[in-house]
Amino acid sequence: MPTQGQVRSANLATVLARLRDHGPRSRARLAADTGLTKATVSSLVGELVDRGLVAEGELHRPGSVGRPGTLVELDGRGVCGVGVEVNVDYLAVLVLDLRGTVRAERRLAVDVAGTPAAEVLVVASDLIVETLAAVPGTAVGLTVAVPGAVQGGVVRTAPNLPGWPGLDVAAGLAGTGLPVTVANDADLSALAEWSAGPHAHVADLVYLTGEVGVGGGVVTGGRLLRGSTGLGGEVGHLALTPGDAPCGCGRRGCWETVVGLGALLRAAADPGDPLRDPGRDLEDRLAEVVARARAGDARTLAALTDIGTGLGVGAAVLVALLDPAVVVLGGYFAHLGEFLLDPLTAALAARVDAPGRVALSTLGFTAAVRGGAHVALQPVLDDPTTVPHVRPALEAHA
Amino acid sequence: MPTQGQVRSANLATVLARLRDHGPRSRARLAADTGLTKATVSSLVGELVDRGLVAEGELHRPGSVGRPGTLVELDGRGVCGVGVEVNVDYLAVLVLDLRGTVRAERRLAVDVAGTPAAEVLVVASDLIVETLAAVPGTAVGLTVAVPGAVQGGVVRTAPNLPGWPGLDVAAGLAGTGLPVTVANDADLSALAEWSAGPHAHVADLVYLTGEVGVGGGVVTGGRLLRGSTGLGGEVGHLALTPGDAPCGCGRRGCWETVVGLGALLRAAADPGDPLRDPGRDLEDRLAEVVARARAGDARTLAALTDIGTGLGVGAAVLVALLDPAVVVLGGYFAHLGEFLLDPLTAALAARVDAPGRVALSTLGFTAAVRGGAHVALQPVLDDPTTVPHVRPALEAHA
DNA sequence: AGACAATAGTCAGGTCACCATACGAATAGC
DNA sequence: GCTATTCGTATGGTGACCTGACTATTGTCT
């Protein structure tokens, strides 16, 4: 039921989205792009400038007749969104401006699993405030990425974060003064892949992340697949190999028992091997795996091939069902991609006719926070009038 | 980029959708529902009446003070949509009015697989024209349901309909004078389940239909899952049981080799058995299966249990990944549902924590045509101004 | 150099759709 | 009959976009 003001909001959002997705351009170009008239676009741009969301850039007109246009571009000094990731052994914060540029990034080693959740929230809150202090713009929102199932803003289950299910995260972060959203980390990572990087705006993509378990996020038709209870896109416990190894979830044959980090390390190293020391930093251990594989260690290579094949078997199901344009591998899959891709694509090609392209994430471990920051910015992109005027409109009368 | 007229269209659509989804009501009630003012709703309703889409009903006000309101309701005599199904051995047509009432229904036995596609289109065209002649309203569109993969309005593959891939269906049906859409039959059936019946407007549902193969349609977040090439939701060739029976697609272990009609009949009857006579009507054969099962025939019951279990194994993957509120079984699965549901739910419960409810379709073999007719009506619901005025507005001046 | 065409952006007036308010119409309860 | 209540419509107002004209700035041609 659009009313007049909503028309205005929608058109402001259209202009803003155009500038974000297609770069700076003149008012006249915006008018041609959107179908609105030049006069209307002028008015819209004026309002966006007043709200600090866009700014006029330099004149630009390379070698063509006619008056050159004034470029209009997103104003990065305006608003920004905050993504926070809570994981087993670290907290991460990333601040993104409207342009999609990273304005700040912090990472803090915290034994989240072994610390009371309330305390973690205090640490996180401090970290956020501290990070924002160094960023000029105004933060408009905060999204918390959690490795677990989230439903209606509440953590339902989080196998690796005892104490988090049911926790009121928003209340714990109220000190930041920002509206708080909570979401699944893999879902946010999928949105991050969708919003930036080589697969930006690929309407149908699947993101798979290898951690202790396996996380998944599905974007279909340009929207995140959520499902009826928010559990859509969870791939870790797909029952692909009945009767296989027992899973932490109490069942058997879940996909993550095949391709999770534990499966890799067990196959690649004996119990005493430093690779299987949970105290060592994960990236160090992954680097060690890469080193051994490059050195030609047979056991390591065999383990990686098995993982790759297991990934291909599962990916085949995802591709057949969801028909994504690309399957993006993140987490440890991305680190070890060079050894996984060949067996993966072989297993995939054996099972589906038109395999979606498989690619490695380029966002690394920042995918979830980046997606979170992106989500935090979304309300502004949907309705720019939520941002107050910085340069107030002139008062017409006393 | 909403412009003024689009505001009008959107509000007309809002009113129309409200009447369709929540039944007849007064203008005042519509105003309260939509947030628009009574005056605006009056204007909108007036325009919808002019276009023949809604009509005033009787006065209605049971036992309450105040002036009684005039009920406004969808006008079934106005526009209608046409669904056409092309299948291996029949053509079907169904005409739906705005209210969702079936205005006409025809079914014609045609050896589609054995007849040149162009000829089939002529027969279909005649059948459509003939059917519409008996319906008062104006048809606004036509959707053709095809058992195969459809991409961009063109049939890509249709295992059971040689000659159809690549066919220009719209040109063949141009004689009807209606805009033609082509879509996958299972997708349309899923939309039909979504638009009517006990699961109407369940935003996340999965539809599975048992035919020679197995078809699937997925509605997620209230929208049909299409995938990047239109192959989303195709479940027949999910590779769930590696190394199993060969499939018509050239691979092995596809789900439809386990739960397709062929698998059931092979397991339930020897080659000479009349059940396996492809010449007999499918419904007769299914009735025979039901009779044997009810009589306690061990082999039949065992076959049905195996199918049910196989369905559960696959459904577990679908439920875990898509998290639907309900999985609807259509086609032959619905006919034999009483024997399939128990093993199905057992297999499902063993694999997923929160099994989506499983239900049998109540739409029978009309699901695809009903979904098609619904799709054909969609443009009118999205923008009621596409329908011309029947009672022209008064001319103000000479 | 000057005229001309082309393009950018602004301005003033107009149209259209929704809103606010008031009012007549129809009903129940006293 | 009177009042309270609710429905639907009529009237005038506001806001947002549109139309058309105008100025500003540049390149090109003569």
Question: How many contacts, defined by CB atoms under 8 Å, are there between A and B?
Answer: 151
Nearest CA-CA partner of A230 in A276, A183, A277, A275: A183
One pLDDT digit (tens) per residue for chain B, 398 residues: 557 678 999 999 999 999 999 999 999 999 999 999 999 999 999 999 999 999 998 777 666 788 889 999 999 888 999 999 999 889 999 999 999 999 999 999 999 989 999 999 999 999 999 999 999 889 999 999 999 989 888 999 888 898 999 999 999 999 999 999 999 999 999 999 999 889 999 999 999 999 888 999 999 999 999 999 888 999 999 988 766 788 888 888 899 999 999 999 999 999 999 999 888 888 899 999 999 999 999 999 999 999 999 999 999 999 999 999 999 999 999 999 999 999 999 999 999 886 768 999 999 889 999 999 999 999 999 999 999 987 654 433 32
List the beta strands (DSSP E) in B132-278. 138-146, 149-151, 154-157, 180-184, 205-210, 214-220, 223-224
For residue A65, give the nucleotide whose C1' atom is nearest its CA: D27
- The pair of structure tokens assigned to B310 is 């196989």
Side chain identity at residue A348, one-letter code: L
Q: Around B126, how many Cα atoms within 13 Å sit in the side-chain half-sphere?
A: 6
Q: What is the DSSP letter of A194?
A: H
Interface of A with B in 292-321 (CB under 8 A): 313, 316-318, 320-321
For residue A79, list its beta bridge partners.
A138
Q: Is the CB of B229 under 7 A from strand C?
A: no
Interface of A with B in 218-247 (CB under 8 A): 218, 220-221, 223, 225-235, 237-240, 242
CA A30 / C1′ C7 distance in Å: 14
Q: Is the CB of B37 under 7 A from strand C?
A: yes
Contacts of B318 in chain A (CB under 8 A): 321
Nearest CA-CA partner of A249 in A211, A216, A213: A213
For B221: left if phi > 0, alpha if psi spans -120 to 50, otherwise beta; the answer is left
Q: How many residues does chain B have?
A: 398
Amino acid B58: pLDDT: 79
Contact between A354 and A173 under an 8 Å Cβ cutoff? The reply is no
List the beta strands (DSSP E) in chain A. 25-26, 54-60, 69-74, 79-86, 90-97, 102-109, 138-146, 149-151, 154-157, 180-184, 205-210, 214-220, 223-224, 326-331, 357-360
Which of B323, B326, B352, B382 to probe by mutation at the A interface, max A CB count within 10 Å?
A: B323
Residues engaging strand D (CB under 7 angstroms): A 4-5, 7-8, 11, 35-40, 43-44, 59, 61, 63-68; B 3-4, 26-29, 38-39, 42, 45-46, 61, 64-70
Contact between A215 and A157 under an 8 Å Cβ cutoff? The reply is no
Contact between A218 and A193 under an 8 Å Cβ cutoff? The reply is no
For B274: left if phi > 0, alpha if psi spans -120 to 50, otherwise beta; the answer is alpha
For A113: left if phi > 0, alpha if psi spans -120 to 50, otherwise beta; the answer is alpha
Q: Is A36 on the interface with B (CB under 8 A)?
A: yes
Q: Is A150 on the interface with B (CB under 8 A)?
A: no
Contacts of B231 in chain A (CB under 8 A): 320, 323, 354
3-state helix, strand, coil in chain B (%, to 5): 45, 20, 35
- The pair of structure tokens assigned to A108 is 């803090």
Amino acid A396: pLDDT: 35
The three state secondary structure string of A13-47 is HHHHHHHHHHCCEEHHHHHHHHCCCHHHHHHHHHH
> What is the pTM assigned to this prediction?
0.92
Distance (Å, rounded) from C-alpha A335 to C-alpha A287? 8
pLDDT in tens, A302-329: 999 999 999 999 999 999 999 999 999 9
Distance (Å, rounded) from C-alpha A325 to C-alpha B227? 8
- The pair of structure tokens assigned to A104 is 């700040």
pLDDT in tens, A210-269: 988 899 999 999 999 999 988 899 999 998 876 678 888 888 889 999 999 999 999 999
Contact A220 B239 (CB under 8 A): no
